[in-house]
Amino acid sequence: MKYIIVGAVAGGASTAARLRRLDEHAEIIIFEKGEYISFANCGLPYYIGEVIKDRNKLFVQTAAAFNQRFNIDVRVQTEVTAINPSAKTITAIKQATGEVYEETYDKLILSPGAEPVRPPLPGINSEGIFTLRNVRDTDYIKSYVQQKHVTKAVIIGAGFIGLEMAENFHDLGLDVTVIEMIDQVMAPVDYPVASFVQQHIRSKKVHLRLNTAVTGFTKTGDKIEVALNNGEVLLADVVLLSIGVRPDTRLAAMAGLKLGQAKGIWVNEFLQTSDPDIYAVGDAIEFENPVTHQSMITYLAGPANKQGRICADNVVLGNTRSYKGSINTAIVKVFDMTVGTTGTASKHLTAAGIEHIVSTTHNGSHAGYYPGAKQMTIQIAFTPKDGRLLSAQIAGYDGVDKRLDVFASYIKQGKSVYDLIEFEHAYAPPYSSAKDPVNMAGFVAENILLDRLRVFYWNEIEQLKPGDLLIDVRRLDEYEAGNIPGAINIPVDDLRNRLHEIPKEKRIYIYCEAGLRGYLAQRILRQNGFNKVANLSGGYILWKACTT
């Protein structure tokens, strides 16, 4: 058997290694147009920021070592330029010599990845404007920053890579501005969760320009003028474009392979393209999302690696192993914060017409009595009918990755908020509380589903009618330190004695700091004949983050 693989990083190298383990005697050739294989894409921002100091650490494998260990013919700096599916050949060009040649294959695996988007803006190709995908880009950026004594960076696009680069540039001592077209950072998360991140970024003195688009660039001397759609012009020494990526489908399209609705390479559940002898994995493919059932492209290293393993199995053993799709579990460190998401954000559920309920809770990363606990905010979405979990998003400072992983395991398995209640976590004071934040999210969601808790949302406050009652049930000192305009204060612990102050026929909107005391207040009120009571999901904390 002869296997050819195009692309030798996350998906490609993983496929190759597994192919060899399954089939010691096959001929395996892997093509990589870049200089390096198996590099740590995800580590590149941290190498630029000198968190990773040793450049060699970026290489999980080298061509020589990979060949030695796996007996794989690794051909770097060699681009595959065409596929001839009927002849079962590929055409390759050796960059160093310009030599063009063909190779036959029995099975071909494509893992060409995705390319950074470079919109056709005036001046976009000026010196000093970079995208970041591979080691070469990294070397360019790093040496440019060092040699040009760069002090001002503009980052365009506040996605995961943009924010990582904002932190890393900032840590190098640069003055950093992040420009983002939409009204929030991190498009895959919902606005309330993003709002915590925005506060944090700003607290680090990074300039964040939301709702702002770049219209063009002008190079003047060593500086780049970055023109904005509001007429303003920013001066930068270096610009990073991180406005997204798109699947590299050129080879596939040229070969007549089917592309899907999302413009990625179409594959079936076995990761097989429309040509049965060609498989594809990684950032270039699209696949049905298990939550929305829409075809989607996933730009994540975990799925790419795991697809590689599945793909190799199917190539060697026949189509025996199904890929189940990715729920897009993603995480990013943003300075001291960690933010992540798993499943599908509320706004995207809405866009997909999927009915859902959102609930926000705040909890300590571990027991409050043990030093160092930090608050995290968890927003989940679930179906109204059966409580099936559709997404979880978390922003916080510690233990965020843990809870995301737990939610991911539940979402992946199609589980419901009722299952969260039964989650039996590992508890000792340094790690959690007797009820984990995951349990808490489950409790609250269950209460909502069973109508023990009625909620309203931060953006509904504006819509309260005259005559509606907004009650802050926190302590007086908390109320006095800041409250939602229009609220009166009745601390929950006084509520039973002050019921007579509240007119029964009014619509009552309650809030507290995080949501818990508001829930208690609601229990008291509703069992005392007040029927139109709702509690602010996520409490004052969330309202404050969303409105400042």
Using rule CB under 6 A, residue 103 touches ligand FAD: no
Q: Does 338 bind its own copies (CB under 8 A)?
A: yes
Exposed / middle / buried, residue 360 (Cβ in 10 Å: 0-12, 13-18, 19+): buried
Q: Which residues within the stretch 386-445 sit at the binding site for ligand COA (CB under 6 A)?
A: 434-435, 440, 443-444
Measured distance CA(15)–CA(312) in Å, rounded: 5
Alpha-carbon torsion angle 448, 449, 451, 454, nearest 10: 30
Distances (CA, A) of 213 to 119, 227, 465: 12, 9, 36
We find the least distance from the C-beta atom of residue 402 to its own copies, in angstroms, to be 4
Which residues have a Cβ under 8 Å from the Cβ of 98 and sit 6 or more positions away?
A: none
| Least separation in angstroms between CB 67 and ligand COA | 12
Of 193 and 492, nearer to ligand FAD (C-beta) is 193
For residue 97, the tally of other CB atoms under 10 A from its CB is 9
For residue 304, give the nearest of 110, 162, 136 by alpha carbon. Answer: 110
Q: Which of 230, 305, 226, 251 is nearest to 60 (CA)?
A: 305
> Residue 516: which of its own copies, ligand COA, ligand FAD, none does it interact with, CB under 5 to 8 A by kind?
ligand COA
> Tokens standing for 85?
């599916």
Are 485 and 511 in contact by the 8 Å Cβ rule? The answer is no
- Applying the rule CB under 6 A, the residues between 459 and 518 that interact with ligand COA are 514-516
Q: Which of 4, 41, 260, 469 binds ligand COA (CB under 6 A)?
A: 41
- Other Cβ atoms within 10 Å of 400 Cβ, number: 24
Rank residues 59 and 427 by Cβ distance to ligand FAD and give the closer one.
427
User: Given the rule CB under 8 A, which of 262-270, 428-436, 464-472, 540-548 is the region that contacts its own copies?
Assistant: 428-436
Q: Which residues have a catalytic role annotated?
A: 42
Which position among 134, 272, 447, 483 is part of the footprint of ligand COA (CB under 6 A)?
447
Sheet containing 214-220, strands listed edge to edge, beginning at the edge strand earlier in sequence: 214-220, 223-228, 233-236
Distance, in Å, from the CA atom of 86 to the CA atom of 82, rounded to the nearest integer, reads 12
User: Considering the rule CB under 6 A, would residue 328 count as an interface residue with ligand FAD?
Assistant: no
Q: Which does 436 bind (CB under 5 to 8 A by kind): ligand COA, ligand FAD, its own copies, none?
A: its own copies
Residue of closest CB approach to ligand COA: 515
Among 387, 412, 470, 514, binds its own copies (CB under 8 A): 412
**Exposure of 292 in the CB half-sphere (CA atoms within 13 A):** 22
DSSP 282-299: GGGEEEE-TTT--EEE--
Q: Which residues are paired to 225 by β-bridges?
A: 218, 235
Using CB under 6 A, which of the segments 7-15, 169-177, 263-271, 452-460 binds ligand FAD? 7-15
Stretch binding ligand FAD (CB under 6 A), from 21-29, 38-46, 350-358, 488-496: 38-46
By CB under 6 A, name the one of 3, 4, 5, 7 that touches ligand FAD: 7
With contacts defined by CB under 6 A, name the span among 4-12, 192-200, 401-409, 467-475 that binds ligand FAD: 4-12
Asked if residues 280 and 252 have their Cβ atoms less than 8 Å apart, the reply is yes
Residue 111 or 483: the one with the smaller Cβ distance to ligand FAD is 111
Shortest distance (Å) from residue 283 CB to ligand FAD: 4
Near ligand COA in 105-164, by CB under 6 A: none
* Contact residue for its own copies among 147, 173, 424, 482 (CB under 8 A): 424
* Tokens coding 412: 């992946």
**Cα gap 114→470, rounded to integer Å:** 50
Extract the tokens encoding 332.
């990013």
Among 26, 42, 213, 354, binds ligand COA (CB under 6 A): 42
Residue 48 touches ligand COA, criterion: CB under 6 A: no
Residues contributing to the site for ligand COA (CB under 6 A)? 9-10, 13-14, 17-18, 21, 38, 40-43, 60-61, 301, 305, 309, 361, 434-435, 440, 443-444, 447, 453, 514-516, 519
Residues contributing to the site for ligand FAD (CB under 6 A)? 6-7, 9-12, 31-34, 41-42, 44-45, 79-80, 111-113, 132-134, 161, 248, 251, 282-284, 299-302, 304, 427-428
